[in-house]
Amino acid sequence: MSSSMSRMAVAAVTALSLVASACGTGPATPPAPEAAPAALPSGGESAGTQLSALAPENIAKSRPPAPFDVTGNWFIDVSQNPEAWRFGPPYPKLTAAAQVHYDASQKAAKEGKVYRDDIGQCWPAGLPLIMTRYWPMAMVQIPTAIYMISGFMNSVRIVYLDGRSHTDPDIIVRTFNGESIGRWEGDTLVVDTVGFRGDHHWMDQGGASIPAGEQLHIVERIRMVNGQLEIEYTMTDPEYWEGEWKSTKRFNRVNDEDIQEVSCLPDLNEHLQSTTSKTQVR
C-alpha cells in the first residue's frame, strides 16, 4: 500500500469512528445522560431531519383541510388549440445566450431539420413541458404532498405540502422537474419550484428552441375551475430571458384511461429512424 493510500485509509477509519461515536454506536463512548432523541422542528426542517412526506407521523399532523383534491388523471386541454401544450409564442425577450439557440432552431426548421431534440433522444422533458406533453399526468394528493407521474416516460414530480423549505442550494440534486414546494392561499395552491438541471432542458422546441437553465424559477398558481385544473405559470430565468414568462394551462380529467409503463431507450430509437436521421441537428 502506498503512503498516500495508507493515510487515506487511516483517515477513513478515523472518520468512521467519529461518526460511530457521534451516533452512539461506538464502543468507546458511553451515551451521555442527556442524549435523548431531540424532537424534530415543525416545518422548515433542515436536510436529514425532515420527516418524509409518506411518514405516518407527518401525514397525521394537524392541518387545515385542503381546499381541493387534484387526485386523478389530467390531460392538457387541446380541444380549442392543438398547440395549447406549448408555453409560447408569445415569448419574452430572450437574452443573447438563448437567442443563439432560438436562431439555430429556426434555421434548422427552414432546412427541414430538428435542432437538439433532446427529448427525442430520451432526455427527460422536465418542467414545464412535462405537464403538457400530450400524455396524461396521474396525480395523487395526500395531506403532505402531491405525487405526479407523467404518462410521458413515467417522469416523477413531487409537490411537497408539509411546510418544508427548499433544500440548501449547495446540496440539492438538480433535476429536470426541480423541487416543488406548495402552500395553500385561499382556494389556490401556490407551488414554487427551483433546483432545475440546466443542460438538455428546454422551454420549447421544434423551431423555437429556448433553453431552461439552473436559475429557472417557476411559480404555479393552481385552481379548480368548473371541473378543470387551471395552472397559471409565472417563469423567470435571467440567464435566458428578461422578466416574467407567463402562460395559463387548463387540464381535463381523464377517467377512462390509466397511465402505463413507458420505456424510452436507445434500442427504441434505433427503430424510430426519424430520431437518428439526417434531420437531427445535434
- Judged by the rule CB under 8 A, the positions of this chain that interact with another protein are 73-75, 77-79, 82, 85-86, 109, 112-114, 117, 119-122, 133-136, 152-153, 205-207, 251-254, 257, 260-264, 268, 271-275, 277-280
Q: What are the two backbone dihedrals, phi and then psi, of residue 145, each rounded to the nearest 5 degrees? A: -170, 160
Q: CB of 128: closest distance to another protein in angstroms?
A: 14
Q: CB of 35: closest distance to another protein in angstroms?
A: 52
Q: CB of 253: closest distance to another protein in angstroms?
A: 6
Q: CB of 113: closest distance to another protein in angstroms?
A: 8
- Is 66:143 a contact under the CB 8 Å cutoff? yes
* Amino acid type, 14: T
Instruction: For another protein, give the closer residue by CB, 23 or 265.
Output: 265
Peptide bond into 128 cis (omega under 30): yes
Instruction: For another protein, give the closer residue by CB, 51 or 109.
Output: 109
Q: CB of 190: closest distance to another protein in angstroms?
A: 25
H, E, C per residue of 47-87? CCCCCCCCCHHHHCCCCCCCCCCCCEEEEECCCCCCCCCCC
How is residue 118 annotated by DSSP? T
Q: What are the two backbone dihedrals, phi and then psi, of residue 141, each rounded to the nearest 5 degrees? A: -110, 130
Instruction: For another protein, give the closer residue by CB, 133 or 201.
Output: 133
Q: CB of 218: closest distance to another protein in angstroms?
A: 20
What is the C-alpha separation between 77 and 132, in angstroms, rounded? 9
Q: CB of 248: closest distance to another protein in angstroms?
A: 17
Cβ burial of 229 (10 Å; 0-12, 13-18, 19+) is buried
Q: CB of 104: closest distance to another protein in angstroms?
A: 14
How is residue 263 annotated by DSSP? -
How is residue 4 annotated by DSSP? H
Instruction: For another protein, give the closer residue by CB, 50 or 205.
Output: 205
Instruction: For another protein, give the closer residue by CB, 57 or 83.
Output: 83
Question: What's the number of CA atoms in the CB half-sphere (13 Å) around residue 102?
Answer: 18
How is residue 249 annotated by DSSP? E
Cell of residue 180, nine digits: 416543488
What is the C-alpha separation between 74 and 146, in angstroms, rounded? 13
Instruction: For another protein, give the closer residue by CB, 53 or 125.
Output: 125
Instruction: For another protein, give the closer residue by CB, 6 or 71.
Output: 71
Cell of residue 114, nine digits: 430538428
Instruction: For another protein, give the closer residue by CB, 75 or 240.
Output: 75
